[in-house]
Amino acid sequence: MTKGGRFVFKKFGVAKFGVASLVPFLGLTGLLSACAGKGGESAKSGGDGDAAAVNEPAELIVYSNSGDTPESFDERFGNAIRKKFPQYTITYLQKKQGQGLAELVAQGTPIDLYWESVGQFMTGIMQFELQYDMTDLIKKHNIDLNRLEPTTVDAMRQMSGGKMYGIPVINNNLSLFYNKDIFNKFGVPYPKDGMTWDEVLDLNRKLTRVDGGKQYVGLGMSYVHFLRMNPFSLPYVDPKTLKATINTDPRWKTLYEYGVVNLTSDQGFRERIAGKGLPQGETVLTKDQDLAMYLFQSSYFYTRDLSGINWDMVSFPTFKEAPGVGSQAYPTYFSVTRTAKYKDQAMNVIKFLISDEFQMEISRKGLMTILKDEKIRQAFGQDGPYKDKNLKAVFYNKFAPISPKTLYDADAEKAYRDPITDLALGNTDLNTAFRKIEEAANKAIAEKMQQ
């Protein structure tokens, strides 16, 4: 139940944002200022007042709502941090049963570093009021945010209400992956960088056919990312009205027309959906090898084993309404939290993670750098097994601005995805689907407000 615009998360006794505080969540300055002195900061413990503390030993507790395994964390971040800072003990807590963020907060476990993707950021650190304005730390540690991809910094300022609750460390966007063998089989020219959606849908029509009793389809995609990272920067929820935007901007219609209705209009495609579902899972390109093209995050080749197919990749197809603009960036942020016992040491780690040294290392592995540095971008994937692929495609387009985020995005997103299968099968029309999306999203938002 709400009281004074806030409500209590009764199961764990954790105060969270309530109805009246969600629009002005950007204005929690008083609360955060009052809390900022907590967490055991002192000159020795690396609080806000001692930059020299970065050289002192510290145990840094690291957490993410992603559920990433310790092995994955170490491979991407942990090993490099420990090597760079042997004086720090890095303890990574994986999200799992009994060790979620709510439990850790209720137990009073101090978290020094929190990391999360932009899509989940607000429903993690901010939902539990662990956010901390890092502006002064950024100045004290001489961190130049102008070196970073600007849309990722702008997005954090939007989420932070002009403050900085996190710093982007790695990036991602959407690219088009394709199975060269299927193109070869049907004598269709490969996709190219800079293609439009009309051109890609033309390829889809040519490749959606039956051969040897096997139904092939031209294009599949991760609809979660297609909608979340759309090139028009459309948010699910208007941050001012806290209502669904589906019927307030005609560009939503363009997205659903190209990405669903026009894509799946062929009867063979619909039969494939009826039998096997939409081609949208992460293994859909490799499992049955009946899909010619797959739209997914650019990190696909890094996070999944694609060695079993003859693949390559090109840039995200563009809309005529936004020429030269690809998907939104999908950065991962690292944050010093309000409860951090070692704020300076934690900030020192983040400073290293955005350094040329570390960014070059991860870029060569195949993780997308957050820096604008062209030399580091050109090194992308050059130490990996796919250095001969068209990896430069990830930087071909301009990044679309990251859409505004709210605490209700996850609740609204399900409503935006629910009618996709019926639209693809021709069982409903866009007007009906959009009306249902609006009703379901607004209901989900209202229910979340009352929790």
The CATH number for 157's domain is 3.40.190.10
- Clarify whether residues 113 and 50 are in a common domain: yes
Residue 191: CB atoms within 10 Å: 24
Residue 131 inside a domain? The answer is: yes
- Clarify whether residues 52 and 162 are in a common domain: yes
Instruction: Report the number of distinct structural domains present in the chain.
Output: 2
Residue 276 inside a domain? The answer is: yes
Four-residue CA torsion sign, 139, 145, 146, 147: positive
Please give the structure tokens belonging to residue 282. Answer: 């992460």
- Looking at residue 5, what is its pLDDT? 33
Burial tier of 218 (Cβ tally within 10 Å: 0-12, 13-18, 19+)? buried
- Clarify whether residues 248 and 340 are in a common domain: no
Residue 315 inside a domain? The answer is: yes
- Beta strands at 214-221 and 291-297: parallel, antiparallel or unpaired: parallel
- Looking at residue 178, what is its pLDDT? 98
- Looking at residue 289, what is its pLDDT? 95
pTM of the model: 0.88
Residue 150 inside a domain? The answer is: yes
Decide if 444 contacts 416 (C-beta within 8 A).
Answer: no
In the chain (451 residues long), the average pLDDT of successive 10-residue segments reads 32 34 36 35 38 85 94 96 97 93 92 95 90 97 97 97 97 98 98 98 98 96 97 97 98 98 96 94 94 97 92 98 97 97 96 98 97 98 95 98 95 97 97 98 96 83
SS3 content of the chain, % helix, strand, coil (to 5): 40, 20, 40
- Looking at residue 385, what is its pLDDT? 93
- Clarify whether residues 18 and 118 are in a common domain: yes
Residue 363 inside a domain? The answer is: no
Residue 147 inside a domain? The answer is: yes
Residue 306 inside a domain? The answer is: yes
- Looking at residue 18, what is its pLDDT? 36
Containing structural domain, residue 432? 174-328+402-450
- Looking at residue 51, what is its pLDDT? 58
- Clarify whether residues 226 and 168 are in a common domain: no
